[in-house]
Structure formats: structure tokens, C-alpha cells
Structure 1
């Protein structure tokens, strides 16, 4: 758990630094407009890609197939859109790569290996309260 907290803190610090660097390079107004544009792009892509994932999941369920990959697509779309809505250029880049259908399989490979590793070791997925 502490490893993930450290990753989040370092990611936020890097995002803050990139906002400062881009602001110094392009100016504060342009930097702000780019961040605002990325938030709107995240919302739009979330709607369109999320709808595609939802339809694929429903189609697989109607055919009696497990919707595993469609659910991972939906999770990638959700995570990518949240990252795009957060202010920061590094989170925007990661969010965009999670939303685009041709780069999403790269993340799905790591997600599937994480899930497989957890299940092989007898681990379970629990939500802990602070």
C-alpha cells in the first residue's frame, strides 16, 4: 500500500514540475488553456470510448461470454479519463494512452499479468479502509 502512495506522491510532484516548466516555457495562460483543453478532451473521450466498452460488454454478456477484456477496456477508459481531468501534463499523456484503442492493449497486458499473479499466489482483492 505504501508503494502505491509513494508512486502517487511522486507522480503529483512530477506533474507539478511539468506544469511549472510548461508555464515558464509557453506562458501561464497558454499552459492553463492546454490543461483546460485536456480536461474537456478527457470528458469527450470518456463518453465515446466508455460507450463503446459498455456496448461490447453487453454484447458479450448476451452471447453468454465472460466480458473480461471488455471490463478491462472499461477500466482503462475510466482511469484514462480521470487522469485527463486531473491537472498535469504527465497525467494527460498517460490518460491519453489509456483512452486510445491502439495503445490500450499495452496496459491490458500488465493488468492481466497482475491479476493472474494475484490469483496464482492465492491473493484476494480487498478494499481496505484507512
Structure 2
């Protein structure tokens, strides 16, 4: 896709659609109610992102304490950052998308589906793990001791 078209969609199209929906909702429930609802969703979303961010940080620390790589947790943190940006932007569509990504099982499922679709993450077969645990790793080669070949011998 042409980067210029993507730029126009992101920075011109989305705000126009958001503005249209804000005007439609404002004509139905009133301007002050629309402004209150927009500010309320931003505050609620910010609070929820903060709480889930601390939860994700705890998961990262726990994984690192077990000597594991917290790759998925770090990606969840990046998605939470995007959620926070979407929820702070005024508009109902960006708020809906932001709140959808705040559901932890949905967020994790979307991340794993995206990683599997990109070929980055693949399932490990049980035979690979069984063979790795049962058979010892043997590296064949020749060696000689350097201390036996010294000039004093």
C-alpha cells in the first residue's frame, strides 16, 4: 500500500469519521453530555491502562525472575501504550478500539494470532521437546591437553 494513502487514512480519515460521530452523538444527547462522555472515557481508559500496565509489569518481572524472556508481555505493554493513546484521543471509535484491546484474553489472542500469521511464532511439536529432554547432547571432536605438551616434559 502506498505510504501516502496510509498517511491520509490515519491522519485525515480517522479524525473526520470521529468528528462526524461526535456531531451525530452531540445532536442526539447534547453538546455538554457528549463532552462529558468523551472526557469520562478518557479518564476511565487512562485509569484502566495504568492498572493493566502495572499488572503487565508484574508479569514481566515474574518471567525475568524465572529466567524466561518476557517477549509476549513486552508486546502487551506496547499494545497498552497504543490503547492509552487511542483512549486519550477524543472520539468514540478510537475509544471503542482502545477498550477492546484492554480485554486481556482478547489482547493476548490477537497478539499470538498476529505473530503466528507473520510466521514469527510457531507451535513446538511434542516430539521436539521430548527428544531434547531425553537424549543427551553429544558433540564429537578431538582434543589434546596443552599442559601435557609443555617444554618441561
TM-score normalised by length of structure 2: 0.69
Shift of 1:106: 4.3
Aligned residues: CA RMSD = 2.0
Cα deviation digits, residues 1-36 of structure 1 (max 9, x gap): 334313312222111111111111111111101000
Q: Determine which of 92, 96, 104 is the counterpart of 2:95.
A: 92
Q: Which residue of the partner structure matches residue 79 of structure 1?
A: 82
Runs of 4+ in structure 1 deviating by more than 4 angstroms, as ranges, are: none
Change (3 A) 1:115 1:19: farther
Shift of 1:83: 0.6
Cα deviation digits, residues 66-98 of structure 1 (max 9, x gap): 111101211111111111111000000000011
> In structure 1, how many angstroms separate the alpha carbons of the residues matched to 2:14 and 2:63?
36
Q: Which residue of the partner structure matches residue 50 of structure 2?
A: 47
Change (3 A) 1:39 1:67: same
Change (3 A) 1:56 1:38: same
Q: Which residue of the partner structure matches residue 12 of structure 1?
A: 15
Unaligned runs of 5+ in 1: 117-130
Q: Which residue of the partner structure matches residue 125 of structure 1?
A: none
Rg larger for: 2
Which structure carries more helix by proportion? 1
Cα deviation digits, residues 85-128 of structure 1 (max 9, x gap): 11000000000011121321343145424583xxxxxxxxxxxx
Q: Which residue of the partner structure matches residue 61 of structure 1?
A: 64
Change (3 A) 1:115 1:43: farther
Equivalent pairs, count: 117
- Deviates further, 85-94 or 105-114: 105-114
TM-score normalised by length of structure 1: 0.80
